[in-house]
With several copies, the nearest count.
Chain A
């Protein structure tokens, strides 16, 4: 790899170094903007005992749901899970540990991790089971709980366009958790629909600056729709 050329040309190379027991942060909301081919590569590699940080856990047979089939995930931080039968079964059997985390707190914990902020206070979850065991503190008469930043061994991210330096833009609401995940991986891998020349992306319009990105790969995507809703 010369200079800032972060392109890799196979998914095997893209996920090189991932090992059992690692923590993986994944972008995506539902099935929107998920790094589907990077997930498939993790499945192919068969690494186990993963801790996954992601808003959701895919569906049966797609997205992070794929990693449930061979019980590759032992722990997940998510705000909403159980859109698939296999997940529910593993949760009920205690084969997977679920750390339910409010959506905004999850997003902020990843952002904090990437931004070198070890912890922050939030009102979210105060007085609820989520606040149990966490430090409570009052600021200006209101109660807040302490939440810690999260970083991962790997971050897997789905972008729209990127240049070889790893500058990334996201398309529409496929942005969601991807930019935060990108900042918080020790190794951040981004798969995109198109790789463009440096300079083609307007500098002030880049969502994820290349400094956060270690590897870029161009792929093709199924982009499954969870709830196709149309108007008459």
Chain B
């Protein structure tokens, strides 16, 4: 069965390492914060200028001057740092963030990502996504494997305008966890009960299937 959003977040969370500075995009990436493994401490970077994002505030703690990049009210954990947008993107652009997790419309076998613009639809902007994909060496893309109409989002070549070129090396979909290497998706894990055949069928780009593709396991 395809992974739920929560399971996707859980799977991504396994990529976290103790001491990682992490930027989580909006949507499924945000949920990753709920599944940080025990014994591991990560520091969340919010690109509006907060390193060490804490929990959502209580009603009493709500402060309009304390928000995250999703414009939600948040808190800062002890030991947080707050700074300007220029400093925030100096961190991001300079490659100081250890892991970035963000959603996408399409990813292709060259590591290109399209996530911000669908021609003909209203374009609202890329926010910090282009900076994030250009700055991080370590990015995980999360998305459904195929569109509602069954069209693959893992392509030979992105059809939508790019967010970044050649910058993605890991993709987690609701069906599979893949790495991108030498112009191909390498199938690393499959969702519980999802067959390799289904993944092959729903992957339009070049997919390398190793002999053994382990099934992901989830506690709950």
Chain A contact residues, CB within 8 Å of chain B:
1-4, 29-33, 55, 78-83, 88, 91-92, 100, 102-108, 110-111, 113-117, 122-130, 143, 160, 163-165, 167, 171-180, 183, 197-199, 203-204, 206-207, 209-212, 223-231
CB <8 Å contact, A173 and B130: no
Residues of B100-140 at the interface with A, using a CB-CB cut-off of 8 Å, are 112, 117, 122-131, 134-135
Contacting pair A129 B117 (CB below 8 A): yes
Q: Are A209 and B66 in contact (CB under 8 A)?
A: no
- CB nearest neighbor in B for A178: B84
Chain A nearest Cβ from B119, distance in angstroms: 10
Chain A: minimal CB distance from B37 (Å): 12
Chain A, interface SS category: loop
Assess the B124–A203 pair: CB atoms within 8 A: no
Contacts of B18 in A (CB 8 A): 2-3
A125–B134 CB distance below 8 A? yes
Nearest CB in chain A: distance from B59 CB, A:
5
Q: List 30 A-B contacts (CB under 8 A).
A: A2-B41, A4-B41, A4-B43, A79-B125, A80-B125, A82-B125, A102-B129, A104-B47, A104-B85, A111-B90, A116-B95, A117-B93, A123-B134, A124-B134, A127-B166, A128-B130, A160-B65, A173-B65, A173-B68, A176-B49, A199-B78, A203-B52, A203-B81, A206-B82, A210-B79, A211-B91, A211-B96, A229-B74, A230-B59, A231-B55
Residue contact B126 to A80, C-beta cutoff 8 Å: yes
Establish whether residues B89 and A209, one from each chain, have CB atoms under 8 Å apart when the complex forms: no
Query: What distance in Å separates the Cβ of A178 from its nearest Cβ neighbour in chain B?
Result: 7
B68 to chain A, nearest CB (A): 8
Contact between chains at B43 and A211 (CB < 8 Å)? yes
Is there contact, CB below 8 Å, between B81 and A111? no
Contacts of B24-42 to chain A: CB distance below 8 A: 40-41
Report the minimum CB–CB distance from A31 to chain B (whole Å).
Answer: 8
Given the interface contacts A226-B71, A227-B71, does A176 sit within 8 Å of B85 by beta carbon? yes
Q: A210-B51, A229-B72 are contacts. A179–B86 as well, Cβ < 8 Å? A: yes
CB <8 Å contact, B81 and A206: yes
Interface residues on B, range: 35 or more
B48 at the interface (CB under 8 A from A): yes
Contacts of A92 in B (CB 8 A): 122
Residues on A with beta carbons closer than 8 Å to the beta carbon of B166: 127
CB atoms of B43 and A30 under 8 A apart:
no
Instruction: Tell me the minimal C-beta distance from A140 to chain B in angstroms.
Output: 13
B66, B67, B135: residue with the most chain A Cβ atoms closer than 10 Å: B67
Whether A225 and B93, one on each chain, are in contact in the complex, defined by CB atoms closer than 8 angstroms, is no
Q: How far is the CA of A192 from the CA of B21 in the complex (A)?
A: 23
In the complex, given contacts A79-B125, A203-B81, what are 19 additional A-B residue pairs having Cβ atoms less than 8 angstroms apart? A2-B41, A4-B41, A100-B126, A104-B92, A104-B128, A104-B135, A117-B93, A127-B112, A127-B164, A128-B162, A167-B81, A180-B84, A197-B78, A198-B79, A203-B52, A203-B82, A212-B96, A225-B73, A230-B73
Neighbouring B residues of A103 by C-beta, 8 Å: 47, 85, 89, 126-128, 131
